[in-house]
Amino acid sequence: MSISILGLDSTARAQFHRSMPKTLEQMQKMGFLTFHGLHFPFHDDENDVNIARILPYNAKLDPDTFEFLWKKMKEKGCVTMLNDDIMHTSRGLFHYSSKTFKR
């Protein structure tokens, strides 16, 4: 089993549809599911605040102890990967001065 989660805001989603139509078509042929409706009346410049709106918590989260899906999948023997739009050890989703995640 493979699970791929691709989270895009409305701007990135529109750009993805415009610039990668063949990829989108292939994803549809492969049966990828698309969840719409995670629209929020406001957004923040930091991704963690935007992503946190889909998490069921109000307190700050520690990414080292939080039970993310990829941790569960790794325990089951699956190969896992986290890709952030800024994949750098000192920046990115879990590394900015976060309003959502402890660091």
Distance CA 46, CA 64 (A): 20
Distance CA 35, CA 24 (A): 14
- State the SS3 of 25-94: HHHHHCCCCCCCCCCCCCCCCCHHHHHHCCCCCCCCECCCCCCCHHHHHHHCCCCCCCCCCCCECCECCC
0.75 exceeded by the pTM? no
Would you give per-residue pLDDT tens digits along the chain (103 residues)? Answer: 677 777 777 777 888 899 999 999 999 999 888 777 655 545 555 555 555 555 555 556 665 666 667 777 888 888 876 666 665 656 655 555 555 555 5
